Structure formats: C-alpha cells, structure tokens
Structure 1
Amino acid sequence: MRHYTGEEFEDEVKRICRSLYSNSIGQGSEKVDGQERDGVFWNGSFFTIVEATTEKKKDKALYDAKKTHELVTKKRSEGNMAQGFLVTLHEPTADQKAAVKKYEKTTRIISFDELRSLLFDAAEYLRTRSGKPFGSVYDHASHSFEVPRSDFVEPTIVLAATSEVRSLNEITLRTQDSAKMIITAEYGIGKSMLLREMYFSLLKDFSQNKTFRFPVAINLREHLGQSDPVELLERHARNNAADPRRLVAAWSAGYVDLIIDGFDELSTRGWTGDHRKLREFKRSTHAVVKNLIRQTPQKSSVIIAGRAAYFDSDSEMREALGTPEGVFEHLIVQPFDTDQAAEFLNRKGYSDPLPQWLPTRPLFLSYLINKDLIKEAVTVSSLGSFPEGAAWSSLLTMIAGRESEQSEGVDKASILKFWGLLATKARQGNALQKSFSPTEMDEAFYAATGNTVSEDERRLLLRLPGLGISPDSVSSRTFIDIDFLNAASASLVLSHIRHPYGEETYRDDLRNVTQQLNQVGTHVICAAIEEEDISTGLLSACISKELTDGNHELAFDLFLPMIFLGQPEGYMTFEGIDIQELDICQEIWDPIKVDFSNCLISSLVLPPDGKLPEHIHFSECLIGNIEGRASERDLPTETFMNCEIGKFSSSYVVNSEILGSELPMGVKVLVVTLRKVYAQAGISRLESALLRGLDHRARMIAPDVIASLKKHGFLMESGRQGKTIFAGTRSMRKDAIAIIQSPATHKSPILDECRKLT
C-alpha cells in the first residue's frame, strides 16, 4: 500500500469536499477560534466541517471529533445548518468509532472510500465495467466477448521515438504520475487485450489505495456521432449502470484515469474526392476525443489507443487527437516474437514450431487453434522465389478444400472466389472494419459463383474460416486478419491478370478499391505469376489498360508486382491513390518513369544523399512522413510540386551517427541494416536498399553482415535474382530491437561475429 503524507491526504479530502459541499472557489482550510481546521465548506445553505487523518490512533480521533463537534455546534447556534466529518485514510478502527460515538449528533467518522463514493461510487462502476467488453477483445471461434485473461501474453512495447522497450508494469506505474500516452498497433496484435490488462492493474492499485484515481475504460466504437465529451461520459456511465452526473463530477475533480480504445473506429478510412477533405473529416470526427482530452484535469492519466495505419502521419494523429509531442508519449505494440507466440500457443495446447511466414498475431493464432487449422497451416508449401506469397496461396487453397468437403453444394473454387470478392469489397473502405450482412454475403456469393445460396450453403458461409462475427451484429461477418484478407483479394486480381478483357462483374469491384494490397497480397501475385509462367508483358498490358480507363487503384495493385518481376515500360501516372509506404531509394526505381498526382502517401523513403530517380515526380500529394531528408529545402522542386508534407524523419541522420561512432565496423553495419529492416513491421527491402548510405569500407563487409543475418534468422529472403527482397522475421524482432538499442552491451552470437568483421 502506498504511503501518503498527512498533507497529501488532506489535499485529496478537500478536493472531494469542494466538489460536494462548496459553492465558490478557494474554500478549504481555515483558522477558526484560534484552531486550524482542515476544511470548512459552505454551499449557500449548509456548512460542512471536515477533519482528515492518516492515523489509526484513538486519541487523535477523539481530539479531531471534539474539535469538529464544537465548531458544528457553534454554527448551529448561529442559526445555520451544519454537519461534521472525520475522514480516515483507512477503514475506521473499532476504537476510533467508539471515541467518536459520543459526538454522533454532529460528527460522523467515515473512511476515504466512503467520502469518495459520495462523489461517485467507483467500486460499483468498476464491478459492472469489469464484466463488459473491452474494445476488440473477442473470440471469433466461440463467438464470445469472454476471452479469459489467462490468454494474455505481454507483447513487446517500444517508445516510437527511440525504440526503448517499456514493460506493462512500467507503463501502469507511470499512470500514478499522471502519464499521457498514445498506444498504436496493427490489427489483431492484442492492443485491446493489453488495455484490458492495464485497466485491471489500475483497478488493483485503486482497490489497494495505491492511488486515489480509478480507471474508466471507454470503447469509442460505442460513441459514434457524439460531439460533446460530457455527453460521451454520461452515455458511458449509463452503459455501465453508473450515475452519469456523478461520473462527470469525479472526472472533473481529477479522480479518473482514462483508457480510451479505438480512435480508428470513429470514422471510415475510405473517401471520395480530395485527400485534404479526408484530413479535415478526420479532424472534425475526432473533435469529441480532442475535447475530452483537453478538458481532463492534468492530474489524471490519459491513455488513448488505435490502429497504427489509421492516420497518415504522427503529426496528423497528434493534431486530430490533441495529443502534442512532449506531453503524450507514443508507444508501439510490436507483433509477437517466437517466444511470445510459443507461450501463447502453449497455453492453448499447441507446442510445435511455427513457419516464418505465418503471422504471429494473437487473434489469428487463436482463430487457427480454435478452428483446428493450425496443424495443417504450418505444413503448407512455401516454395519458389516468393515463399510468403506461395504459402498464403496454399493455405487458402487448403482451407477452401477442407471446407468444400463438408458441403456438397460448394466446391473449392467457389469458396476461393467468394473470399476474393468479399475481401475486395472490404478493400473499398476500411478493410478490417467492413461488416457484411447476411444479405450482402448472399449477393457476393451469387456474384462470385452465379448460384443462389441455399440454406446449407448459407450456414457454410457464416462459419467460413477467416471470417468472424462482426462487433456490431451477431448475424454479420468481418475479416479477422489483414494478411488473410489481402491474400484472398490477390486471388481475384490474379483472375483479372489471366483474363484481363472479360466482362465479369467482379472487375468493377476491383476497380473500386481504395486500399492498396499489402506485402502479402503483392507476394501472392508474384508467386502465382512465377509458378504459372505468366508473361510480364501481359501484366504490363493490364496496367496500361487500367490506367487508360482511369482505374488507378487497380493499376497500382498490378504495378507493385511488376516492380519485382519486370520493368514497366513507358510513362505512367497514378492519381488519387492511397499508398502506405513508397521506398524509392532502392536502385530498382532508377529507370522507372512515373508521376504521382493528388495521392495520399503515408511514408515516403528517399535516398539520404545524391539525386532522386530522374523520372519520378510528385504533384499535389499529401505525404505524412518523408524519411531521408531534413526539410523541404532538401527536396528538388522539379520532383515535388505543390505537395503538403507532415514531417521529415531523422533515421538517416541516426544511421550516419552510428557509422561515425566508435563501434567496430561490422557492428555499425549490423545496426544500420537492422534499423532499415525492423524500423517498420511488415515492410520488405530490396538488397540494394540495405547497401544505400554505406561508405566504401562498410559496403565491403555488408555482404558478410547480410549472410550472418540470414544464418541467425534475422532476414527472410525472397524475390528473383537481381531483385532479392529481405524482410525481418517475427521470431527475431525482440533481439533486433535489443541490438539496435544497446549494440555495445547486448549479448548475442551475431554481435560476436560482426565484431570480427573489418
């Protein structure tokens, strides 16, 4: 139990009493009749006299009670109504109660918990809230919000600015000191599970009197369309059987620590029209969150969380939420590494190792376990130049085949087409939040297969792997994994590539996507084109046709595989598309001729020195972050025309500092390479990018460092000869971050090897 000084305790008691019994500012301690009084409060019709003590002694209680009794009696004799309280930090002892009993007509002895409950019954709220859903915590296999807390495995949490690792215990301890934090993560990594654990940790601290504040956990998905923070808190109170007015009073008095989950669930990510209008739309949609944070007393902690990719830059996120840098720390929840995934699976009875390509998201792993798919998933084929794409294609084919065997009316090809169309429709908006009603699923099945859905087929569709019950309706379905969604949608893109001039209706859906394929989707296409020996000329013709017809989003989905498989011919212009990351410091871009116009680019990676690719231009683009340049003065005007840029990052400056340090040359190259590969989860790098920015000496030993990284499992290789792609592995992420943070002191075999390279 935390030790409070008498002065600290008195201050807390007075703060509550001011909210309960005062009608003007400044009421509190007074000297009356030559004696110090902890609190004298007047609400316009009633005096409340208060003494506060942290002691358990009978004599102290008797002294304070007598003093309070005398002043209350005096106020009553003067014609005023008056009452007295003796407030103890702990539950009053039997001796204390006996000592005060003689003054019971004027003075009551109560615990601090009792006094606080007069402001708001926190204990009753916490009992109710603890049994309600927390964000996206949901078991999609058993269709229940009741996911046991024993499923929680603590992920790696890092400070965005420095990659410094923070433990859950450190984070919750800091909330006692009025911490302000933003927590972001990819979907399915366990962000809501983490916030739930934080809530219960804070609840425990509150119950043990380690803090005077109690946690209020808000799911923003329950507050769509609200604009006033007080109304938001009142609705939250009603949803949890609490008094709305009193919860607002407790919040205003600084007795609430806010845990706000789901800033990405207040609006959709899809848009039509100018990107700048989208930014303004997000800003106005999140005004209620911004005002809630702004009006929360400084003494309270505020933790707000959401998906990492929702905002297009750190600066946009901070502006929209009202979480300024220097006040709010930004923490990132990392995907599970091998040890964390193994611990999670062990708790569910599975102990075999996982392949490198398989996502380690708790949500997806739990789904595979509960659907009894894990053993088959880990054995699928992952051969060829693009093993991740081949593995995902094999996984979907395997699952579709198994499901078709359980239904006479739906064959494997029909399930794959249905998945592909549904996933493509999801990419037309906010993919993983897109909910499909039974009617929409029936329509998608008919569009994919040409057949009307029977009752048996409808039951099959509702239980198909990869789809879970939507949070907004038990009869609706949504995709539960972003890689599954992208792999499924890529299969439809492949159908279009094989026969680009057909009239099937699914092509209209492909041409209406607003979110690009991710790395998994791109690699699925690459793997299939390689396996089926599809001509890159056919792929190039598809791109040209879609650009000519104005279908820029679909053309870009085709353009990315072309980068890895061949070289696009002629000039291309992509207009009005959303790009998560574009890395043009890789040599593969040098001969490419492309313009990006009115595009939304979350992250643009440029070479830190030298000229940019001559034939790549950006006009009227909204760019969240540019990595590799320090300011707009470093950008050539012939390449960037009328672009709006959120911020410039300094990772290349950091790399230069590393290369100029006193570390052994091999260790320098190791750290710089790890930073390039592990700086952002899910992004692969061409081999040439790993060499960019290194001087002559560093380039000489870089191949040896890369060989060591492959040998020790830090790099996963794919791609064709001359276009080798390296991606970080989930299993080594924790070690990679540790080496980046402490290359001089961390113990690792790869560091020992690289120290010997000169």
Structure 2
Amino acid sequence: MNISNDAAFEEEVRKIAKQLFPGVNPNDSRYADGRERDGLFDDGECVHIFEATVSKKTDKVKNDIRKSSELVGKIRREKPTHNVKIWIVTAEPPTADQIEEGVKGRARARCPIEVCGFESLYNRLFDAREFLRLRSNYPFGSIRNPDNDNDKNVPLSEYIEVRFCDRAGNSEISVSDICKKIQSPGYRGAIIGDYGAGKSMALRHIYYKMYSLFENHKTTQFPIYLNLRDHFGQTDPSEALIRHATKLGHPSPHRLVSAWRAGYSTLILDGFDELSPTQLSSTTRNLRDARLAASILLSNFLSESPVQTSIVCAGRLHYFDDEKEMRRAIVT
C-alpha cells in the first residue's frame, strides 16, 4: 500500500478492523495501560490488539510486539474469560525477519500473533479481485451488439469515446475527464442522455479504468457496477449489494457490504430510469410520486455511502419531467 504516513496508515487499518469486528463499540478507547494503541477491539470473546506500521525495520515490529505483550497480561486479569490476539499490520508484505519476530513473540505474549501485510488484511475484509473477475462475466447495463440484441459481450475495443455536456460548467466533458474526477474522494456525477447515447458503454469504460487502477495497486477503491434494473423494488443499499454479489456467485456476499461501508468502493449505478414500476397511474402527480419512490434506492446509496465514496449514475434524459424533479429524486 502506497502510504508513507503512519497516522494515515493506522486509520486505514482501523477502518478495516471496525468492519471485521462490527459488534465492537466504536467509542472504545484506543488507550490502554497508559499508552496509545493503534486499535483495540473486543468482539465479546476475544480482544484484538492492533499495531500498524509503514516501517520495514524488524526492530519496529519487535517493539510493537513487546508493547502489545505487556498489555496482554492486563487484559487477562480484567477479562479472564476472553482470548487475546495481537495483530501487527505492515504497509508492504512483511519480511521474513518480521514474520520471525511474530513467531518468537508468541512465547512471551502467550497468545496468537499475526504479522501480515495490509493487502492480506484487506482480503480478510473482502476478496475484491475475485469479485471483479466474476463481475467481468456479467452484463453491463444496456450494452448489446447492434447486429444481435442477444449478444451482450461487446469487446472493450469497440468503445468509441463520446463527449457529454457538463451542465455545471456549461462545457464539454469527456469520459476520460470523468475517470479523473471519479478518482477524487467523494465525487458525485450523473450521465444523462437519450436511449442509445452510449451511457452504459461510458460507464463500462469508467469501470475498467478503476479496475485497472485497483489491480495495479494505484488505489484501494474497487469499482462496483450495478445494473439498477436488477434491483427493482429494493430500497436498502445493503440488500442490493448482497443480491448483486449473490447473482455473480461470490462466496461472501455480505462482505461486499462491509467493504462498501469501510469506504473501499467506487459506485457505478446504471439505469436509474429502469427502477420505475411498469404499472403507473395516468395522473401527473402520481407519475412523479412513483418515480420518486422508485428512486429511493439510488437516493439511499447517495446518502448512506461514506463521504469519500465516489458515485456516478446514469439514466435517460427525459425520464424526469425537468431537472428540478431529477434533483429532488436522486440528489441528496
């Protein structure tokens, strides 16, 4: 992981640990026995002591294990029915010498000690690479071969970049520009266009751009591309993510929710215009109310996602009566 600042790295480790042990009181103190700890998590059966470091020095791991071992005895006296585990998390994969320090430290601490790299800890939260592999075999929005509507496997090489009008700045914006913007924490955007304008192709291009950045360790955020038509009737983002991962065949669907809540995803939500029920009242007011109700899932994704999560969605230009109605439905 490309983080050289200890404080920033410690925060990343705590984000994951909080999801690995979701029952832990988030207000638990990080101070114990008069010293600051990078993380303390009591899951009811085991107290997990976390120390995180960007250092590649063996002595740093040795000192962190010694400091944590001193705390183990105090925890056992206060919570005799609890187990204790020490976690030493390094930014890069630990060296053989650092791992050996963990083996040596077990005798002193008389508890399990795990020395692991950040990527290993990340994979305990969610196997994003397997998720992305499975997602590549699933349809992307309305993408179809124009010569055969049943053929959804349109090669990436067939993509021709289009430009959209940036309504905020009244200027043109390319998909490459959107790719750059979405890499900034907390970006929110919507691609609006007529049927066949290339919205899904643009979103797929963004998806694979983020996929490449993640695969090459340029970011810890992996893309989640949802076909919103698959989630008609759903309003809870967690349920939608579990359904999505289940449809892909991922072995741990609930873990996708944990990764999303920890802020490790970029959301790509395709087809907000396909959430409406097929049977709608003929009155204008009821049509608007129905569209608003159908958009609750998208609205909840926007409001419940971590602030650092970037989100881009797409839908038809004239699905809403006007921009005011659209903003009321999908902008928080």
Q: Aligning the two structures, in what range does the TM-score lie when normalised by the shorter sequence?
A: 0.7 to 0.9
The match for 1:190 is 198
**CA displacement, residues 315-373 of structure 1 (integer Å, 9 cap, x when unaligned):** 1111112x14xxxxxxxxxxxxxxxxxxxxxxxxxxxxxxxxxxxxxxxxxxxxxxxxx
TM-score, normalised to structure 1, is: 0.40
- Match among 264, 282, 293 for residue 273 of structure 1: 282
State the distance in 1 between where 2:143 and 2:101 align: 51
The match for 1:238 is 246
State the distance in 2 between where 1:82 and 1:8 align: 25
The match for 1:161 is 168
State the distance in 1 between where 2:203 and 2:83 align: 47
Deviation at 1:56, TM superposition (A): 2.0
Provide the aligned length of Structure 1 versus Structure 2. Answer: 322
Q: 1:443-462 to 2 correspondence within 5 Å?
A: none
Contact 1:51 1:85 in 2 (8 A): yes
Q: Does the alignment pair 1:95 with 2:102?
A: no
**CA displacement, residues 419-469 of structure 1 (integer Å, 9 cap, x when unaligned):** xxxxxxxxxxxxxxxxxxxxxxxxxxxxxxxxxxxxxxxxxxxxxxxxxxx
State the distance in 2 between where 1:160 and 1:116 align: 38
Q: 1:587-602 to 2 correspondence within 5 Å?
A: none
Q: Does the alignment pair 1:171 with 2:173?
A: no
Contact 1:234 1:248 in 2 (8 A): yes
The match for 2:312 is 303
Larger mean Cα displacement after TM superposition, 171-180 or 144-153: 171-180
Instruction: Please give the secondary structure, in 2, of the residue aligned with 1:24.
Output: coil
Contact 1:29 1:39 in 2 (8 A): yes
Contact 1:27 1:39 in 2 (8 A): no
- Match among 105, 111, 119 for residue 117 of structure 2: 111
State the distance in 2 between where 1:28 and 1:87 align: 20
**CA displacement, residues 668-708 of structure 1 (integer Å, 9 cap, x when unaligned):** xxxxxxxxxxxxxxxxxxxxxxxxxxxxxxxxxxxxxxxxx
**CA displacement, residues 244-277 of structure 1 (integer Å, 9 cap, x when unaligned):** 3222222223222211000111126896632222
The match for 1:70 is 70
The match for 1:370 is none
Structure 1 vs Structure 2 CA RMSD: 2.3
Contact 2:277 2:294 in 1 (8 A): no
The match for 1:7 is 7
State the distance in 1 between where 2:189 and 2:4 align: 26
Contact 1:72 1:106 in 2 (8 A): no
Q: 1:294-443 to 2 correspondence within 5 Å?
A: 294-321=303-330, 323-324=331-332
Aligned amino acid, residue 204 of structure 2: R
Query: % of aligned pairs identical?
Result: 38
**CA displacement, residues 18-41 of structure 1 (integer Å, 9 cap, x when unaligned):** 2223521223632x3443311111
State the distance in 2 between where 1:270 and 1:309 align: 18
- Match among 229, 232, 243 for residue 224 of structure 1: 232
State the distance in 2 between where 1:71 and 1:81 align: 13
State the distance in 2 between where 1:108 and 1:279 align: 55
State the distance in 2 between where 1:65 and 1:144 align: 57
Query: Structure 1 162/47 Cα, relative in aligned 2: closer, same or farther at 3 Å?
Result: same
Query: Structure 1 275/173 Cα, relative in aligned 2: closer, same or farther at 3 Å?
Result: same
TM-score, normalised to structure 2, is: 0.88
State the distance in 1 between where 2:266 and 2:4 align: 19
The match for 1:282 is 291
Query: Structure 1 3/306 Cα, relative in aligned 2: closer, same or farther at 3 Å?
Result: same
Higher Cα Rg, which structure: 1
Q: Does the alignment pair 1:207 with 2:215?
A: yes
Q: Does the alignment pair 1:147 with 2:149?
A: no
Aligned amino acid, residue 248 of structure 1: V
Contact 2:292 2:329 in 1 (8 A): yes
Deviation at 1:173, TM superposition (A): 3.1
State the distance in 2 between where 1:122 and 1:181 align: 24
Instruction: Please give the secondary structure, in 2, of the residue aligned with 1:67.
Output: helix
Contact 2:2 2:91 in 1 (8 A): no
Aligned amino acid, residue 120 of structure 1: F
Query: Structure 1 35/272 Cα, relative in aligned 2: closer, same or farther at 3 Å?
Result: closer
The match for 1:291 is 300
Instruction: Please give the secondary structure, in 1, of the residue aligned with 2:37.
Output: strand
Contact 1:178 1:300 in 2 (8 A): yes
